[in-house]
Amino acid sequence: QVAAEGQDIDAAAQKGDDEGSRLITTMSYIRLNEQYRPIQRYLALAALAVSRQQAKRVYQEFRNGQTCIDLVSSLDATVSQCMCDSVLELLSFSNVYKLSKENVNVILQSMTQAFYDPENAEPSLLSFTNLLTKYLKPDMREVAERTEIPASTRIITPLLEILQKDSSKKQKSFIFNVIRQGMRYEIISTTSFTSGGGGIKSGKGGKNNGQLQQVLRLLEKSVETLKDTDTYEDLYQDLSVAFSSASVLKNVCVVSSTSG
């Protein structure tokens, strides 16, 4: 029960609360955090250990693995990484268990939350990346063992591959958010961005030019659709894609300019 309701202790005071209520609410959640986090981490580590030895049991007991997916969104890096590794074990265990598009949305959104804990952001992103790589390439084995590939390249490659597919507006928003923050914290390099994702060749400039053209097209499309947007959710997602993609382009241009 503690593990299943992990996000409850990640809650915060509401904007409309007065200062006294916010202080009491925040302090209450801090105490809950201190009380339940160690238990969550213990249970997450136990689930990971069992998944490595008895994957079938975890698959059956955890609602066909869905509980593990639900818990990858924990704001605690230890819990999130353990659940990602558990899901990866289940994916390797059975061809029946596969990630759905909705699961991918959960993973991408959870990646944006990894930056709440900057010190653990890179290992968390790598854990999420392993799941996305397995989603894109189900037959690939030992996904987590590719340590010879730079972390930046491992993270950016599946994100750009998903962009090249028929990704939804929400997925684009999450992906550019991750890339933008990854560049901000120097986890994702501009070099890996311009050379990642399998490379769409686009005339002169090849792979590099193809990635930049891809971002420019999405930026232009988001700006154009703002004029016809009539719902708050669509407006938010279009603005998010426009802001994050523009930030990514700025980072690439700044680095390219200083490096000559």
For the chain, what is the radius of gyration of the CA atoms? 20
pLDDT of residue 94: 67
Cβ(248)–Cβ(240) under 8 Å? no
Dihedral sign for Cα atoms in the order 134, 137, 142, 145: negative
Residue 113: per-residue pLDDT: 93
The predicted pLDDT at position 203 comes to 45
The answer to whether the beta carbons of residues 193 and 209 sit under 8 Å apart is no
- Ranges of H-type helices in the chain: 19-53, 55-61, 66-71, 77-93, 101-113, 121-136, 151-164, 169-184, 190-195, 206-226, 232-259
Res 229: pLDDT: 79
Provide the 8-state DSSP code for 12: -
Query: What gap in Å lies between CA 152 and CA 234, rounded to an integer?
Result: 30
Could you list the pLDDT tens digit for every one of the 260 residues in the chain? Answer: 344 444 444 444 454 555 545 444 556 667 777 778 888 899 899 989 998 888 888 777 776 677 888 889 888 999 999 999 999 988 887 666 788 889 999 999 999 999 999 999 999 999 999 999 999 998 888 888 888 899 999 999 999 999 888 788 899 999 999 999 999 999 999 888 877 544 434 444 444 566 777 788 888 888 888 778 778 888 888 889 889 989 998 888 887 656 54
Residue 136 near residue 161, CB atoms below 8 Å: yes
- Per-residue confidence (pLDDT) for residue 77, from 0 to 100: 93
- Say how far apart CA 222 and CA 207 lie, in whole Å: 23
d(CA 14, CA 183): 30
pTM over 0.85: no
